[in-house]
Structure 1
Amino acid sequence: MSETMFHPRTSSATTPGRERFPADVPGLRFASARSNLWRVAAPDGTVLGHIERVAAEDGERFLARRARPGLARAIELGGFTTSRDAAEVFR
C-alpha cells in the first residue's frame, strides 16, 4: 500500500484566503487545507495528519489528527492550547 505524499511549493500555503500555520516547527511542513485547517507533512512529503483550530470557552484549541494510510478516518491525538504543541506530536 503506498503512502500519501504531499508536495507543496513552500512550507506554508500562500494562496489568497489561505492562512499560514501559526508556528514554524523544524522538520515539519504545513499547508492550508481550508480556513483553520492545515495538512502536516514530513520533509519528504509524506502526509502525517492535520491540525485544526477550533473555538473553545477559553479562547482557541488546536486539534491534532494522525493520518492513516489507506484509511479514511484519522486517529485523534488530542487538543492543545498552542499550535506548536499540536505540531510537536507529529515529530
Structure 2
Amino acid sequence: MSSTALVHPPQSMITTSGYRLVSAGPQLWRVIDRAGTIIGHLAAYRLGDAVRYRARRYHAATRILRDLGEFWSPEDALDCLRYSR
C-alpha cells in the first residue's frame, strides 16, 4: 500500500448493521460486532488506479487472522466477514 495515497472507508461503513469499523492503522480497520468482539480486519490497498479491500477473519483458537478474500467494495468485504462466522 502506498503511504502517500491513503484510502478511507465511506462514512456509511463506520457503523453498519451493528458492526463498527475502528481504525487500526493506515488503511486498516478492525471490525467489531455488537457485543464488542473483534471479528476481523478490513484492509484497503491500491491496485493501479483502483482500490481493493481484503477481509481477514480472526480465528480465536489459533490466534491468527485468516484471509477470506479480496473485494472491489468495502461493503462486500464487510459482508464476507459478517457471513463467514
User: TM class by shorter-chain length?
Assistant: 0.7 to 0.9
Task: Name the residue aligned to 2:47.
Answer: 56
Partner in structure 2 of residue 86 of structure 1? 77
Partner residue of 1:36?
A: 27
- Give TM-score, length-normalised by structure 2: 0.75
Q: Distance in 1 between matches of 2:59 and 2:66?
A: 7
- Tell me which of the two structures has the higher relative contact order, counting C-alpha pairs closer than 8 angstroms and 6 or more residues apart: 1
Deviations 1:26-70 (A, max 9, x none): 121110001100000111011100000011135110000000114
Provide runs of 4+ in structure 1 moved above 3 Å: none
When you count helix as a share of all residues, which structure comes out higher? 2
Gaps of 5+ in 1: 1-18
**Could you list the runs of 5+ residues in structure 2 that have no partner in the other structure?**
1-6
Indicate the percent of aligned positions where both proteins have the same amino acid: 33
| Greater strand content | 2
Counterparts in 2 of 1:70 and 1:79: CA distance versus 1, 3 Å: same
1:21–1:32 CA contact under 8 A, matched in 2: no
